[in-house]
Amino acid sequence: MTEIVGPFRKSSYSGQQGDCVEVATTADHGRAVRDSKQQNGPLLTVSGDGWQAFIRQFG
């Protein structure tokens, strides 16, 4: 299981009507992504390299 070391933060791209994506830093410098409406639900985890590639592509 991936260790989450930072607090979840709301994405600046999230809407104002509760449709939020939250992101937290993981121990391996990757990210964990979740739906704010399901805080105990599933997480999408991405490696540090994968996150950097995502940011380069879409950031």
> What's the whole-model pTM score?
0.82
pLDDT band of 5, cuts 50, 70, 90: very high
Q: Average pLDDT for residues 25-44, to the nearest whole number?
A: 93
Q: Average pLDDT for residues 47-56, to the nearest whole number?
A: 94
pLDDT reading at 15 higher than 90 = no
In 10 A of CB 39, how many CB atoms? 10
Closest CA to 44 of 59, 36, 32, 57: 32
Give the model's pLDDT for residue 19. 74
In 10 A of CB 6, how many CB atoms? 12
Closest CA to 31 of 55, 51, 16: 51
pLDDT band of 53, cuts 50, 70, 90: very high
